[in-house]
Amino acid sequence: MTEEIKNSGWKLRKGTIIEAKQLTKTERWFDIKLDDGELGHEPGQFIQVEMLGVGEVPISVSSSSTKKGSFELCVRAAGRVTNYMQTLDKGAIVTIRGPFGKPFPTKEMEGKDLVFIAGGLGIVPLRSMINYAMDNRDKYGKIDIALGCRTPKDILFKEEIERWENMEGINFSYTVDKCDDPAWKGNTGLITTLIPGLEIDPAKTYAVVVGPPIMYKFVIAELLKKKIPTTQIILSLERHMKCGMGKCGHCQIDSPKNYYCCKDGPTFTYEQVKDAKKL
Amino acid sequence: MKQFILKKKDLDAFIKKLSEKMKVVAPVSKGGGNFAFDEILSADEMVLDYIPTILPPKKYFMPQREKVLEFDVSGDMPKDTAVTDAEPLAIFGVHTCDLAGIECLNGVFSEEPEDANYMARKNKAFLIGLECNKYCDEHATCALMGTHLPNGGYDLFLTDLGEEFLVAAGTDAGEEFAKGLDFMPEASSENIAALDKLRENKKAIFKNEIATDVKELPGVFDKGAESKVWGDLGEKCLSCGNCTNVCPTCYCFDMSDTLNLDLKTGYRTREWDSCQFETFALVAGGENFREIRGDRQKHRYNRKFKYPVDKYDKFFCTGCGRCTRTCMAELSLKETLKSLVKENL
Ligand SMILES: Cc1cc2nc3c(=O)[nH]c(=O)nc-3n(C[C@H](O)[C@H](O)[C@H](O)COP(=O)(O)OP(=O)(O)OC[C@H]3O[C@@H](n4cnc5c(N)ncnc54)[C@H](O)[C@@H]3O)c2cc1C
Ligand code: SF4
Ligand code: SF4
Ligand code: FES
């Protein structure tokens, strides 16, 4: 006796890939248009991408909510579903659930200076916030962008980054962990080396940091040295996720507070999660 | 709400009346001192003097494995249908600890966004509780958790008064059903006095098993975050996941897709998962947020005695003792709590 249920959280939304591009060997970018209109997300949120018959994975929305008509994803080949997604091209139908999660605090940050720091794939979710700030330039003060990745070959969104670099009122720096390409004009070294040089008025600055777990510890230590309050350091954390709705239990963060990464996050203030065992 | 009397000799008539309306499940013996909720058609099939069943009644609300979505990717446009298989169901003889467990799950799955599959089943369930007049065994910690007494969550609730059951209605549906049975008169003042006396006697039988107020426990867990107790558990635990499977308040799940042999149609399954498994918090890239067994055990305890207290203002342990009874490494929840309290209070 099986009955169809209306409004189940498992019901899917459908869309079409209107553009796809290979950004690096392992990362593929998609522009997706939904049948039912706008995705309706805010910067920092994610969706569950549903590859029917293969599985589902949480993926950050990489485009800003100021972009209308379609939304963007950038997916790294990491396992079963994400490898399958590398085969998708323009015209392919995709199904999703979401958007899910707590967005970056765009309202609270208004009127403040912003420091954006991303390591590796962290640029994918942070890009939604950076472009949001660019499109609402008058709402925010001075903007610093510090990005890092492994080698110049791994740089994502190169053209867009060049645009940011040349915009007025934006302080931009890029570093790669290692490099043997003489044409590389950016810095070499870990992303933490970019922070001491930033000129910051800590009380009126929000730092938004996204990167792999290992990066947080060191970057946050540098930001704290700059005296940025713990409530003004914003992170986006990654956890194993299965539902995106605060039910499956997978994404629980080990901290004295009871946080589900999918629902209470993925964006958190450092203050919220500073006692977590791992970030 | 009204209270009624059900003579033990009329129990079978009660079950028969119930089965006219819906499927009835109740505790039955599975041999070797084990019990399970299973379908019954007459009263003599069930055992009311039972210790907590192998699996708690959660299996009827959140089956171990369930289909949540059917899909068809054969055409240009994939089709999908969200499904559930809820049917009217009476669960008879549910102990107070298990009623408390169902209440915990109700809280989780009714929280926004509501879980449609769980709620569909919950809304079709008719719950008939049964009071414990004595301990089931030495592993229970129901007096600590205050779950040895009824605390709502039932349509009808039975207390054994010797020759008869006192039957308290908890919902309109429960009251309506009892009223419709001509062999169930309303309880007299003597019956109610007998119930009061029984409850009074229970105070001498059920004593806080760890001799510490449950309200102290979240603090004990805060202070004991780095306790050696966790390492000790980690040394012995086999990561089998039995403790979470049998727990009435464990609800973590995994999702997976299956393609049928036509490679075009298929379905999505939700299945019980366990935080005790090594891969539970592992992410692509190799980071594991709870790599060692001690951390996973600590996590399980935190999700009973600390996190839900912050989140739902409720403990998510019902004191049923199932995790201890089932543990292959003979790890005891009661002893673990005692060691933690000793060290951190
Ligand atoms: C909020 C959030 C946003 C993310 N955004 C992006 C993004 O924009 N681009 C991108 O390439 N990757 C992103 N990831 C990581 C991505 O979800 C994983 O790489 C992906 O789940 C791996 O699935 P798989 O089937 O390819 O790998 P497998 O190793 O086969 O994974 C099997 C299952 O484990 C779970 N799982 C494994 N790794 C992760 C993980 N890192 N996070 C969550 N669940 C995991 C998933 O349920 C997955 O279906 C994000 C993760 C989270 C939590
Ligand atoms: S933790 Fe153990 S005693 Fe507590 S409810 Fe779960 S199975 Fe029962
Ligand atoms: S039942 Fe015992 S051995 Fe198995 S995971 Fe639980 S604590 Fe470990
Ligand atoms: S992903 Fe299921 S609870 Fe967060």
- Domain limits at B317? 214-250+276-344
Q: What is the whole-number distance in angstroms between the Cα of residue B142 and the centre of ligand 3?
A: 21
Quote the pLDDT of residue A1.
52
Residues of chain B with C-beta less than 8 angstroms from the C-beta of A94: none
Q: What percent of chain A has a predicted confidence (pLDDT) above 70?
A: 99
* Contact assessment for residue B122 and residue A42, using Cβ atoms and an 8 Å cutoff: no
Cα dihedral B90→B93→B94→B96 (10° resolution): 140
Residue A4's closest chain B neighbor by CA?
B83
B242 shares a domain with B142: no
Reported as a single tens digit per residue, the pLDDT across A211-221 is 988 899 999 99
Q: Which two tokens stand for residue A108?
A: 């609270």
B231 shares a domain with B181: no
- B270 lies in a domain? no
Q: Which two tokens stand for residue A263?
A: 């629902």
Q: Which residues of A134-170 are buried (b: 16+ CB within 10 A; e: fewer)?
A: beeeeebebbbbbbbbeebebbbbeeebeebeeeeeb
- B106 lies in a domain? yes
Residue B329 Cβ contacting ligand 3 at under 6 Å = yes
**What is the tally of structural domains in chain B?**
2
Stretch A19-27: mean pLDDT, rounded? 94
| CB of A146 less than 8 A from some CB of B | no
B224 shares a domain with B194: no
B240 shares a domain with B194: no
State the burial class of residue A22 (Cβ atoms within 10 Å of its Cβ: 0-12, 13-18, 19+). exposed
Residue B61, SS3?
A: helix
B177 shares a domain with B56: yes
B101 shares a domain with B11: yes
| CB of A252 less than 8 A from some CB of B | yes
Q: Do A93 and B76 touch (CB under 8 A)?
A: yes
A2-6, A237-241, A243-247, B72-76: which range is least confident on average?
A2-6
Residue B250 Cβ contacting ligand 3 at under 6 Å = no
* Contact assessment for residue A64 and residue A58, using Cβ atoms and an 8 Å cutoff: no
B146 shares a domain with B117: yes
- B256 lies in a domain? no
B131 shares a domain with B17: yes
Domain-terminating residue out of B180, B205, B230: B205
B218 shares a domain with B182: no
B222 shares a domain with B124: no
Nearest to A254 among B71, B254, B290 (CB): B290
Nearest to B259 among A53, A78, A257 (CB): A53
Reported as a single tens digit per residue, the pLDDT across A169-190 is 888 888 888 887 888 787 888 8
Among B64, B69, B27, CA closest to B245: B64
By most ligand atoms within 8 Å of CB, the mutation choice from A247, A254, A267 for ligand 4 is A247
Q: What is the whole-number distance in angstroms between the Cα of residue B235 and the centre of ligand 3?
A: 11
Q: What is the whole-number distance in angstroms between the Cα of residue B248 and the centre of ligand 2?
A: 7
Domain-terminating residue out of B152, B182, B205: B205
Helix H or strand E encompassing B20: helix B11-21
- B257 lies in a domain? no
- B246 lies in a domain? yes
- B110 lies in a domain? yes
SS3 for A116-155, per residue?
EEEEHHHHHHHHHHHHHHHHCHHHCCCEEEEEEECCHHHC
Q: Which two tokens stand for residue B56?
A: 């708690």
Alpha carbon nearest to ligand 2 atom 2, residue: B323
- B138 lies in a domain? yes
Residue B249 Cβ contacting ligand 2 at under 6 Å = yes
By most ligand atoms within 8 Å of CB, the mutation choice from B283, B288, B290 for ligand 1 is B283
Strands in chain A per DSSP E: 3-4, 13-22, 27-34, 46-51, 55-60, 71-76, 93-100, 113-119, 143-149, 170-176, 187-188, 205-210, 233-236, 252-254, 258-260, 267-269
Position A133 pLDDT exceeds 80: yes
A64-73, A157-166, A212-221, B151-160: which range is least confident on average?
A157-166
Quote the pLDDT of residue A166.
84
Q: Spell out, as residue ranges, where chain B has pLDDT lower than 70.
A: none
B219 shares a domain with B172: no
Nearest to B284 among A3, A5, A78 (CB): A78
Q: What percent of chain A has a predicted confidence (pLDDT) above 90?
A: 68
| CB of A37 less than 8 A from some CB of B | no
Quote the pLDDT of residue A203.
93
Angle ∠(B142,B103,B250) on CA atoms, nearest 5: 75
Position A103 pLDDT exceeds 60: yes
**The complex's ipTM?**
0.89
Domains of chain A: 3-99 (2.40.30.10), 113-236 (3.40.50.80)
Peptide bond into A99 cis (omega under 30): yes
Residue B210 Cβ contacting ligand 3 at under 6 Å = no
Q: For chains A and B, what is the number of CB pairs under 8 angstroms?
A: 141
- d(Cα A25, Cα A77) in Å, to the nearest integer? 9
Q: Do B251 and A249 touch (CB under 8 A)?
A: yes
* Contact assessment for residue B14 and residue B181, using Cβ atoms and an 8 Å cutoff: yes
Stretch A113-121: mean pLDDT, rounded? 94
Residues 6+ apart with CB under 8 A from B120: A3, A5, B84, B86
Quote the pLDDT of residue A2.
64
B186 shares a domain with B142: yes
